[in-house]
Chain A
């Protein structure tokens, strides 16, 4: 429960919430492949090599 509350009010440095940030990016953000966001997100990009580009097989 505590964790849920923490996540919902988590602020990014610019002062807007994660939810607002996604809204601001528009409908296309939800359709963007995970690999693209993984590279653009420093924490996720550091954690592992980016996934193989292209479709799965």
Chain B
């Protein structure tokens, strides 16, 4: 059941000024709840931009507007720094002959899909490198005073190398070697960037919009457990919506597999995209069975993974012994 405040959030983001009141009881809006909902989806800056663009400020208390404007301003300043740091990072990587392509939030910003630079909240700078450059990039980052934040030992290779930070920079960086975690790479593989990597152009590169769209959906559905939890993220929906405005053929061109279908089905209630599905009872039953299995697996796999690692990996056993000795 979607609450009144979430309905207003959706209307403000996707409908025109005259349709804002559709299915929403404006008199009984709880503004505190609205802040909770919008902020949990990282949507306060986008909400502010749309309120302002659609001349809706009169519907909200002054202190509410002041607050979301503050959040928007801080985010905008941060994203301006992101663009500068992206440029600096790209120059550094080109100087060391490391071919790279920016992904996720930075790619969306670089592709100019938002009308305002402060609209999208972005945590870090993700970019893809070629597998042959793994050692070179780690050396380059170290030589340029980036600090590596090593993760706990993993049995399977992670989709990105360790997260790096720099004392004089705001954003952490994550050099990817794959889009998705192991087991899902047949859905969206690093190889889809081959043609972009062959391009010898030494400018800031991003994937084509259809690839950005696929990464956006799969990343939420698989990596953020959207599929397993049957939940949705307004940030991802808004990204897809904005990408679709830029090119209306993008959604039509995407392959409607179980993850994509589930993404659009979970937000069907909001009537943002006009998409029709053929979902038989039979296929819905198997999808829900698969989802339950996945949910159980995701909640328990770390226990099994640790046991298997302990039995089969001497490297992991040594890692644990060193960790134990260090803690003494």
Contacts and interface: CB of A to CB of B under 8 A. Distances in A.
B67 A26 contact: yes
Interface in A2-57: 25-29, 31-33, 35-36, 38-40, 42, 45-50, 52-55, 57
Given A28-B64, A53-B233, A57-B229, A45 B32 contact: no
Contacts of A45: 123-124, 170-172
Contact of A36 (B42, B174, B225): B42
Interface stretch (B14-22, B68-76, B89-97, B106-114): B68-76
A31 B40 contact: no
Contacts of B40: 33, 35-36, 53-55
Contacts, number: 94
Contacts of A25: 67, 70
Nearest to B228: A57
Measured as residues with beta carbon below 8 angstroms from the partner, the interface class of chain A is 20 to 34
Contacts of B44: 32, 36
Given A26-B66, A28-B63, A35-B39, A54 B170 contact: no
A28 B67 contact: yes
Interface of A: 25-29, 31-33, 35-36, 38-40, 42, 45-50, 52-55, 57
Given A27-B32, A35-B42, A46-B170, 19 more contacts: A25-B70, A28-B63, A31-B35, A33-B36, A39-B123, A40-B71, A40-B78, A45-B123, A49-B174, A50-B42, A52-B224, A52-B225, A52-B233, A53-B41, A53-B43, A54-B41, A54-B231, A55-B40, A57-B229
Interface of B: 31-32, 35-36, 39-44, 63-64, 66-67, 70-71, 74-75, 78, 121-124, 149, 163, 165, 170-172, 174, 224-225, 229, 231-236
